[in-house]
Amino acid sequence: MASKVVYFTINGRPEQAEFTNNSPAQDVKDLFRAAAEAGPYDILKMYNTQGSLINIAPGLLANDPQSCYRLEVVAAEYSTELLGTELAVALGFDLSSMEKRLQNLEKKIPTEVGATPALISEMKNQVEFLQKKLETVEHLSWLGLFKEMPDVPQKLSPFYHKRTLRKPQGECELVREKFLQMNSLEVSEDVRAYLKTPTFDNWQWEDAEIMVLLQVMYVDLDLVSTFSIELEVLQGFLYEVYRHYNNIPFHNFKHCFCVTQMMYGLICLTDLKNKIESIDLLIMLTSAVCHDLDHTGYNNAYQINAQTELALRYNDIAPLENHHCAVAFEILVKPENNIFRNLTTEQYKRVREGMIKCILATDMARHNDILNQFKSVQSDFDFQNKEHKDVLMKILVKVSDISNEARPMDVAEPWLDCLLQEFFNQSDMEKLRGLPVTPFMDRDKVTKPSSQTGFIRFVLFPLYTELANLFPCLEKHLIDPVRKALNYYSEMEVASEKERTNCSEKTEMSSGNDPAKEADEAQEKTRPATTN
């Protein structure tokens, strides 16, 4: 396939990139990242001549020097600067400042000295290693930096990968202002088309842009016109939703967007718009938006074992999911946020009932029951049958909620890292407070591949298979990528096991132990004594 040339500017500097339509997506992103001299955690944004965001992907349209795209670099939210002054004081140095100094040194060396000295390379590696540790370990036990745990059960650890659990008001206002300003921009057709696919890469988009894309979904499904939703009310609702998702590694606003985007993609791929009523689409999309509101990063087992306020309020029955529903309707009760305010009484009653059912269905404790309900209606499924349709809506929300592994690996794997960080945070807290430790969250026992292989085999495959039985078109969009993910993590697990075995053998050899000799000695000891 012939290559194409894309012309763009970065900080006013003209550049060009050459690649083909079948180039790997990650290679294309790396190409632009290198041209922009961006760091591994920086976010790249590409704009066309009209100022609209366009997707950085192999399908990017070729242009000419007169119609240059504009590339921008946005520092990632989890940069070292966000570690805070408290941590800088505790460490005794400013990590971000040291990193910048090393970068400057690195740039000067090739011109003034030649090859990078080994000492500088080693320093750079040490800084990167320290930065990675700081970004991925919540309690920082390896530094001895513990904060005194409060006596009140419902209060949470202040150590999250971002600055605070709740979003600061000032930060929220800046995002809101940017969101409202961006509403005047036209979202390009290629982004609109990309938004309907399960391969969508959420990592390119900031929170304000995510709100714009959520608004596009409501408009595109005709929900705005069908239910007379005023745009300013929809914008108020989306902003409050953003504000009520917390700064936690996984169950955050970007997760909310991913779930909603997958729901939107499934609706489009299966042509549900022509199979069920618009009010059901409104229920599913809004349920996806609200399904994890005010999640604090600790699951239902923790809530119940720690006897938190939520567990006490909801009598240990799906405390998180009940809370997410309650927060959603607390937002919607205000007229300026109530996207349902022009519905009839009967319509509102139906929407509220449907949203509660869909959000409560995301409780994994109910997974098998809901899947079995869906299996029981598969053979004679009827889109006009309310019982059948209700269980389908719950299944679609569930599939969307746990759909990361159906995405490309470069999108899915960072989400797994975020999820494991949240799991490890919880198990750390359980150990600190003397609570039962959730086995699949224990950082001392769980590895990335081991966490995924069983989950894919016993949760994702059965769920996705049943949905694909009803909608065969989903086979290539859900089952094929998940099968690839299972192979990837299975191979990683085998490699990890080999590495552990090799390390163990080397340790035994270095300690002077001979496994074969030890086995012979053990056998000799177990032989019965004989007499002459």
Known catalytic residues are 251
Annotated binding-site ranges: 251-255, 291-292, 401, 452
* Residue 245 Rama label (left phi>0; alpha psi -120 to 50; beta): beta
Of 347, 341, 344, 298, the residue nearest 323 (C-alpha): 298
Per DSSP, the three-state class of 354 is helix
Of 323, 380, 386, the residue nearest 354 (C-alpha): 386
Cα-based distances in Å from 183 to 47, 94, 139, 176, 180? 15, 38, 40, 11, 5
Structure tokens at 9: 């500017």
Annotated binding-site ranges for Zn(2+): 255, 291-292, 401
Q: Measured between alpha carbons, how far is 151 from 201 in angstroms, rounded to an integer?
A: 41
Residues in the chain: 532
The DSSP call for residue 297 is S
Alpha helices in 221-277 (DSSP H): 223-226, 231-243, 253-269
Alpha helices in 36-117 (DSSP H): 84-91, 95-112
Annotated binding-site ranges for AMP: 251-255, 292, 401, 452
* Residue 11 Rama label (left phi>0; alpha psi -120 to 50; beta): left
Angle between helices 231-243 and 253-269 (to 10 degrees): 130
Contact 270, 471 (CB under 8 A): yes
